[in-house]
Amino acid sequence: MKIMTKPAEMQKASLAWQRRGESVALVPTMGALHEGHVALIRRAAKLADRVVVSAYVNPTQFNSRLDFKKYPHTSDWDFRCARQAGADVLFRPKSLYAKDASTWVEEGARARGRCGAWRPDHFRGVATVVVKLLGIVQPQVVVFGEKDLQQCEVVERVVRDLFLPVRIVRHPTIREADGLALSSRNLRLNSIQRRLAGRWAGAVREAAGSGARVGAVKLRVLLRGVNGIRLEYAEVVEGHLCAAAYVGKIRLIDHRRCREKS
């Protein structure tokens, strides 16, 4: 597996594969790879001849400077993980923004509400960097984790609206034994917070189990007065209970399909 840092070099390699008739899949990440990413890379390897994993902590999708600065970096681990999972290239650009960059991709429907309501411009940053990565790698397929459900929805809409010639594949959320969705941010949880995060995941599952009509209210009730967990939002969208909460200073998101009540 190769590491590439320059967009032009990455694009050249990808186009060369494609000229030889090989298809290319992209797995966009911000590094700090975990089993969830490994599952995405393995899936990508089944869908295309070549797999590019991008690892770029995109500054424009963070709302707080501190959150950006504290985002975990695990470069050597990422290299080993991506290689073992079957990636051909780990694309690790230094920056994807020129000093005077002035082009943004803004999706105006799916990005509203849920995380979009609490993280102004977050999805603008995500959509912009994803379109940049698509322009560089020019893959036939991109694999996203369904854990970031709203992100999947936004990217799918951008790809549809801009007629981008790429297929988006969603991969199911991978969870720990206690139900906590895998996320790079989990690395920042201390042992007490990790237990609370498991409790949060259990509450989301239980609330979704009580059906779409009452799921959001139920989650608020379940988490009311729980020391160390601060619910940010709980909304049912298209039959999914979607929620975000802070455990200490660490923001966690999750979603579960609501049980259909007869």
Site string for ligand PAF, 149-188 (x = CB under 6 A): --x-------------------------------------
**Quick check: 126 binds ligand PAF (CB under 6 A)?**
yes
Q: Give the containing element (helix H, strand E) for 17.
A: helix 7-19
The region that residue 145 occupies, defined by phi over 0 for left and psi between -120 and 50 for alpha, beta otherwise, is beta
- Helices and strands (DSSP H and E) totals, the chain: 9, 9
HSE toward the beta carbon, residue 84, CA cutoff 13 A: 12
Distances (CA, A) of 196 to 90, 189, 249: 34, 9, 13
Q: How far is the CB of 91 from ligand PAF (least distance, A)?
A: 11
Among residues 141, 193, 194, 130, the alpha carbon closest in space to that of 170 is found at 141
Cβ atoms of 224 and 240 within 8 Å: the answer is: no
Residue 127 engages ligand PAF in binding (rule: CB under 6 A): no
Which of 10, 25, 30, 87 is the binder for ligand PAF (CB under 6 A)? 30
255 catalytic residue (yes or no):
no
Interface pattern 47-86 for ligand PAF (x via CB under 6 A): -----------x--x-------------------------
φ, ψ of residue 226 to 5 degrees: the values are -80, 115
Using the rule CB under 6 A, which residue among 29, 128, 186, 210 binds ligand PAF? Answer: 29
Token couple for 210: 């009580």
Segment contacting ligand PAF by CB under 6 A, of 4-12, 23-31, 113-121, 199-207: 23-31
Decide whether 30 or 141 has the Cβ nearer to ligand PAF. Answer: 30
Closest approach of Cβ 78 to ligand PAF, in Å?
12
Q: Where does this chain bind ligand PAF (CB under 6 A)?
A: 28-30, 58, 61, 126, 129-130, 148, 151
